[in-house]
Amino acid sequence: MGTDPGLRRLALGTLLAAYPGPVPPSWAVDLVGEGLAGHTLFGTNVHDPAQVAASTAALRAARADVLVAIDEEGGDVTRLAHATGSPYPGNAALGAVDDPALTERVYAAIGAELAALGITVDLAPTVDVNTADENPVIGTRSFGADPARVAVHSAAAVTGLQSTGVAACAKHFPGHGATIADSHHELPTVDVSPAVLRERDLPPFAAVISAGVRSIMTAHIRVPALTGDDPATFSRAVLVDLLRREYGFTGTLITDALEMKGAALAAGGVGPAAVRALAAGADLLCIGFKVDAGLVERVVAEIVDALGDGRLDRSRVEQAAGRAAALAAWTRAAGVPNPAPTDLGYAAARRAVRVEGDVTGLGVPLVVQVHAASTIAEGRVPWGLGPHLAGLEEVRVVAEETDAAALRGLAGSRPIVLVGRNLHRLPGCAELIDALAAAHPVTVVEMGWPGRWRPADARAFVITYGASHANGRAAAQALGLAS
């Protein structure tokens, strides 16, 4: 027997799928017409603005209220500018500037760009409080380590973004900032009491709920006191008791990608993860990045089977689909985007740069960029000072494979400007910097999360709080090296 058409449509109404390439394939468009809530766009779906607008128009032709989502955080996580780097600084830089009005303007500018392309949901801002310097996946995506500051800027970001008619999605509930593992690869544990969460991690979520955020994203993290051995995405104690009843959130609850190991491994696959997330109180399920028609149909079949065998109540799935539809209705009715000043992001990035030490008189230095792997959230996006330098020699090295004496020999009489991301976490990097600075003038540029680490003998330490195109230009300007 085939799947009941009504149940199939109901299940589709809870799913955010994805598709490969710059043009939506016929199956992706057909699923929208058949009731799929929407699609998430990734860098592989983005070539240029005209192409993105054509893609969203094709999806909207299948059903006018389709949701089109994207991870456009500014800073290190960008899909629209994945080929060049974002023209906006990310949250850490905005938190360092600490001007909530600026944060609101930057997010309004991002929202206006998305709205003009037909994108209706931005899976941003990240409102996690980054309290762990070793955090491998949040870092500069956070407004900072102080809950009060993060709360103020999170609310400002939501206000700016939603002023354009693009729905914000605050993430990752109940807080991913204290983790030292990446939920793309494993299930991180935050072993603290609910009282600690309320004091440290939850103030930004309270702030965005007060600001009217339309959606919130779940975290694939384990908080044993609330979730037991499961991720928060599968926990009614977190999604219903804490978020909805205690904090009063009435909007749409979106899962982080269910293909991530933090969810899929815990459930035994994407389909079972979808069922468990729905049962726990999630409304809109991000399937993930690697999606085809077959995967969507398998998830739908799992949900329909769960409705038949008692794992899911129909009223719960109807509630979830209704909240997804309400989100789509809001995006169709709200906001008129206003063009932003073209230099807004670059000016904001310049305000964020912090210089410890003396950067005068660099002359014609040798620029050394230290290799740093990208997270799955960031993807492979260009970063560094290279695009902004005026005819300077730049070399790229792997810290633990580089001999300091050889690098000093290459520099000769020139000072060295060493550029990296999350330098304190890179194997061999602190030792390389110490060996260079012991016998050579070295200026260090940190384009990741600076934490508490500082190079002992460097001439100067420059912090950009991010590695976007705007952050790179700002650093080059601060050093007097910009083209």
Cite the beta strand spans of 74-178 per DSSP E: 121-122, 167-173
Nearest to 443 by CA among 468, 482, 475: 475
What is the phi-psi region of residue 248: left when phi exceeds 0, alpha when psi lies from -120 to 50, beta otherwise?
Answer: left
Q: What does the alpha-carbon distance between residue 110 and residue 114 come to, in Å, rounded to a whole number? A: 6
- CB atoms near residue 319 (< 10 Å): 15
Q: Which residues contact 2 (CB under 8 A, 6 or more apart)?
A: none
Q: Strand, coil or helix: what is 275? A: helix
What DSSP string describes 1-69? -PPPHHHHHHHHTTEEE--SSSS--HHHHHHHHTT--EEEE-GGG-S-HHHHHHHHHHHHHH-TT-EEE
DSSP symbol at 184: T
DSSP β-bridge partners for residue 369: 396, 419
Nearest to 223 by CA among 287, 260, 178, 255: 178
Nearest to 10 by CA among 313, 352, 426, 414: 313
- 128, 182, 230, 256: the active-site residue: 256
Please report which helix (H) or strand (E) contains residue 227, including its range.
helix 224-227
Q: Which residues contact 88 (CB under 8 A, 6 or more apart)?
A: 74, 75, 106, 109, 110, 344, 345, 348, 349, 468, 470
Which pair of tokens denotes residue 3? Answer: 């799947």
Please report which helix (H) or strand (E) contains residue 279, including its range.
helix 270-280
The type of residue at 128 is: D
Whether 256 is a known active-site residue: answer: yes
The type of residue at 205 is: F
Catalytic (active-site) positions: 256
